[in-house]
Amino acid sequence: MTFKELGLIEPILRALQDQGYERPTPIQAQAIPVLLNHKDLLGVAQTGTGKTAAFSIPILQHLANGAPPQGKRKIRTLVVTPTRELAIQIAENFTNYAKYTDIRNTVIFGGVKQTSQVYALNKGIDVLVATPGRLLDLINQRFISLDHIEYFVLDEADQMLDMGFIHDIKKLLKLLPKKRQSLFFSATMPQAIVKLTQEILDNPSRVTIEPEKTTAEKVEQRIYHVNKKHKTALLVELLNTTHTSETLVFSRTKHGANKIVQDLAKAGIQSAAIHGNKSQTARQKALSDFKDGKLQVLVATDIAARGIDIDELGNVINYDLPNVAESYVHRIGRTGRAGASGLAVSFCMLEERPFLKDIEKLIKQSIPVIEDHAFPFSMEDAAEPSLKKQNQRRPSRNSGGGNSAKSSGDSRRKPSSRSGSGSRSNSNANRSNRNTNS
Ligand code: AMP
């Protein structure tokens, strides 16, 4: 199947060629004909599948084939998405695919002044990409009217619900014209989402893409069992040896992300964090520095990273394992996009092992464990507080301190590690550091 066979018009085909897209991804092959046929669509798919092009291309084709605008342009397409990063990326997609047409778009999101957004709106646009809060805000101020919407896309609906946007969405629905084509995308379909689809869609075609399995198959995955106190040292070790190209590091919490950035700075590694407490400007700067190769490491929380689109990202490190198995699939999906292969490494502490079990169950794979590394897991360290108490009760044991980090029977040696011999001297240095620091 080619894009031409999907019946796309020449200006769009040319733009896709410029993007280097050779053939449609599965969601594009399935969704584009449905959408060109003016049907509503329910897409069960997540970022990384090519879903943005799947919805933006047919909308652009409809708009380009329509009558040219008379007077000031009216907003005819509305795309609502939960995060600022996603909104910006979707708008970039529209701009790329529309470059040989006369279709104009703009993007609006909160956390920044509205002035330049209002200015762009006032010039007249065909496509608006928005996060819900700022959209409602500008509607209330009468800078935006939804009266002329013909195409409505609700993107990442499950995420939208998780982030508490359901009431905003319901308000928006009341403002949309009844006669429209609606597109609804969600990675998962819990009951609340099914209900929402019934309110939005009219007899939709359904397209389901399961990237969980395909992504997990494409990406090389590894587990490092490690004690909490050695996670940062292990991270530094990997960033200095096997992960020297751009690496996205995941932290479960915002505070944890900041701490990782500080710790890496102490080890001479420049990084930046993106999470909900960072200003929009700081997040964009971090993301563009990372994309431009100026930063080796970007540290992100799940929500901030959702949908980040970075071409050729080779490495993901889960500094913390996510407690929701699906998040693991989202995270490792940041690598291995559009056919590229990636490497996803996860640190696993003793208390995270149940999460690991859930993940392996979901991806139906057992993730290879790297046992020969500089900071092998030690049960003695993991159980430190209770062991210390026991040791106090056993005066006959060696009380001279010393090598408390000696590896336990858990660290069976295997020659499979990628932290090759080049890192060995470094590892020894780190080991002695570790003993003095801990
Ligand atoms: P998305 O799922 O929309 O976030 O897209 C994921 C990535 O795949 C983006 O980097 C797109 O530019 C890229 N992409 C989308 N469609 C294609 C295609 N047909 N061929 C190659 N790459 C694509």
Domains 4-209 and 213-378 share a fold: yes
Q: Is the pLDDT of residue 255 over 60?
A: yes
Tokens of 286: 């971090």
Q: Tell me the best of 3, 16, 19 to mutate to test the pocket of ligand 1, counting ligand atoms within 8 Å of each CB and taking the most.
A: 19
pLDDT tens digits, 27-63:
999 999 999 999 999 999 877 789 999 999 999 999 9
345: number of Cβ within 10 Å: 25
- Work out the pLDDT band at 402, boundaries 50, 70, 90: very low
pLDDT tens digits, 180-218:
999 999 988 888 899 999 999 999 999 998 654 455 667
Q: Is the pLDDT of residue 337 over 60?
A: no
pLDDT tens digits, 267-304:
999 999 988 787 878 888 888 898 888 898 999 988 77
Q: Is 270 helix (H, G, I), strand (E, B) or coil?
A: coil
Closest atom, ligand 1, to C-alpha of 93: 12
Residue nearest atom 16 of ligand 1, based on CA coordinates:
50
Query: How far apart are alpha carbons 353 and 323 in whole angstroms?
Result: 10
- Work out the pLDDT band at 340, boundaries 50, 70, 90: low
Q: Domain extents for the chain?
A: 4-209, 213-378
Query: How far apart are alpha carbons 52 and 41 in whole angstroms?
Result: 13
Burial string for 50-89 (b: 16+ CB within 10 Å, else e) reads bbbbbbbbbbbbbbbeeeeeeeebebbbbbbbbbbbbbbb
Query: How far apart are alpha carbons 72 and 362 in whole angstroms?
Result: 51
Name residues contacting ligand 1 (CB within 6 A).
21, 24-25, 28, 47-53, 309, 311, 337-338
Give the pLDDT confidence score for residue 310 in this predicted structure: 65
Q: Is the pLDDT of residue 236 over 80?
A: yes
Q: Is the pLDDT of residue 247 over 70?
A: yes
Q: Which of 178, 177, 195 is nearest to 186 (CA)?
A: 195
316-325, 391-400, 418-427 — which is least confidently predicted? Answer: 418-427
Write the CATH number of the domain with boundaries 213-378: 3.40.50.300
What is the per-residue DSSP string for 165-215? -HHHHHHHHHHS-SS-EEEEEES---HHHHHHHHHH-SS-EEEE--HHHHH
Q: Is the pTM of the predicted complex or chain greater than 0.75?
A: no
Give the pLDDT confidence score for residue 215 in this predicted structure: 58
Output the CA 337–ligand 1 centroid distance in Å. Answer: 8
The fourth-level CATH superfamily of domain 4-209 is P-loop containing nucleotide triphosphate hydrolases (3.40.50.300)
Query: Regarding predicted confidence, which is higher, 332 or 74?
Result: 74
Give the pLDDT confidence score for residue 218 in this predicted structure: 73
Residue nearest atom 13 of ligand 1, based on CA coordinates:
50
For Cα atoms 42, 49, 272, give the angle at the middle one, nearest 5 degrees: 120
Q: What is the DSSP letter of 124?
A: -
Q: What is the DSSP letter of 280?
A: H
Q: Tell me the best of 309, 313, 334 to mutate to test the pocket of ligand 1, counting ligand atoms within 8 Å of each CB and taking the most.
A: 309
Q: Which of 20, 96, 1, 116 is nearest to 53 (CA)?
A: 96
Cβ distance 34 to 201 under 8 Å?
no
Tokens of 290: 């990372």
- Work out the pLDDT band at 309, boundaries 50, 70, 90: low
Q: Locate all alpha helices (DSSP H) within 3-102, ordered by sequence.
A: 10-19, 26-36, 51-65, 84-97
Residue nearest atom 12 of ligand 1, based on CA coordinates:
50
Give the pLDDT confidence score for residue 419 in this predicted structure: 33
Cβ distance 119 to 98 under 8 Å?
no
Residue nearest atom 19 of ligand 1, based on CA coordinates:
24
